[in-house]
């Protein structure tokens, strides 16, 4: 599956407490909700395009655009706080509005922290939790290494630098991927919401929960991490496993922050096997 094949999926919309929310779906069976990360140009399709057809073989797979991202509404920051609570409340309400009783939640990076919030605050909605390169721990970032991410300049060259930081050294970056994510990043609808989201993260001192909060996750949880992830280091995966009582780990070699794009077959197989065997 190539990133330019977005037209294969019908964009659907549902009103979630006044937020027109975009999602795509494929497959039948147990519901699997995919939550993208918070990087520039991120949305449901762009993060999960390679995994969607793989997961759809076994599950009703739903990739949703978080509030302020993709084609989901971007409320005016003067009236809306782009906090972590706002994101997990939006996803929890999305699950309810979709009429889904209990889902498996897969979250990457910011999406992982969002999924975790749903699992803790709305345990009745979350059957199993999969965290991939997940935010949520109060760790010190390598500011120098992450400069292309934190200081993204909205140019195509800047997008190339950003993707290089988020992937392994041998990952082949296509022109289609650069064009797709860059176009999303400069969409005027999302510029203000993205700035507000990053501003909230900076003021909060990061995207994290207290360790007692993380330890309160009761769902069976799979923690996936790339060995070469520069955003969420391997030590974070170990800490999640230490804190969460019902957790398993899957560590991927030669892999950065985008396991679902770098190694979609490996990632999808590991997640599918976890869901089916637990």
The residues that are catalytic are 109, 229, 257
Partners of 108 in the β-ladder? 132
- What Å distances lie between residue 143 and 147, 194, 229, CA to CA? 6, 19, 14
Burial class of 100 by CB neighbour count within 10 A (0 to 12, 13 to 18, 19+):
middle
Strands, sheet with 60-64, edge to edge from the N-terminal-most edge strand = 12-16, 19-26, 60-64, 31-35, 103-108, 126-132, 220-226, 247-252
Calpha distance 214→151 (Å, rounded): 29
Using DSSP's 3-state secondary structure scheme, residue 59 falls into: coil
* H/E run at residue 276: helix 264-277
Tokens of 31: 């519901």
DSSP annotation of 63 reads E
Using DSSP's 3-state secondary structure scheme, residue 178 falls into: helix
């Amino acid at each position: 599956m190539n990133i330019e094949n977005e037209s294969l999926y019908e964009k659907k919309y549902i009103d979630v407490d006044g937020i027109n929310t975009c999602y795509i779906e494929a497959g039948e069976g147990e519901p699997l909700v995919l939550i993208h990360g918070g990087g520039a140009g991120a949305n449901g399709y762009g993060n999960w395009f390679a995994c969607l057809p793989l997961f759809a073989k076994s599950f009703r797979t739903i990739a949703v655009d978080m509030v302020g991202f993709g084609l989901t509404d971007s409320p005016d920051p003067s009236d809306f706080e782009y906090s972590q609570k706002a994101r997990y409340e939006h996803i929890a309400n999305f699950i309810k509005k979709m009429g889904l009783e209990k889902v498996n939640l897969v979250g990457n990076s910011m999406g992982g922290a969002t999924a975790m919030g749903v699992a803790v605050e709305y345990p009745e909605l979350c059957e199993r939790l999969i965290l991939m390169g997940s935010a949520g721990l109060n760790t010190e970032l390598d500011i120098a290494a992450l400069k292309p991410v934190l200081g993204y300049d909205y140019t195509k060259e800047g997008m190339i630098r950003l993707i290089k930081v988020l992937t392994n050294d041998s990952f082949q970056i296509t022109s289609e991927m650069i064009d797709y994510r860059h176009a999303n990043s400069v969409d005027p609808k999302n510029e203000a919401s993205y700035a507000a989201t990053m501003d909230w993260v900076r003021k909060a001192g990061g995207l994290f929960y207290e360790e007692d909060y993380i330890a309160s996750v009761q769902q069976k949880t799979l923690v996936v991490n790339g060995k070469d992830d520069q955003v969420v280091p391997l030590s974070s995966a170990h800490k999640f496993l230490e804190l969460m009582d019902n957790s398993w780990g899957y560590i991927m070699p030669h892999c950065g922050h985008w396991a679902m794009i770098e190694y979609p077959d490996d990632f999808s197989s590991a997640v599918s096997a976890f869901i089916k065997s637990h």
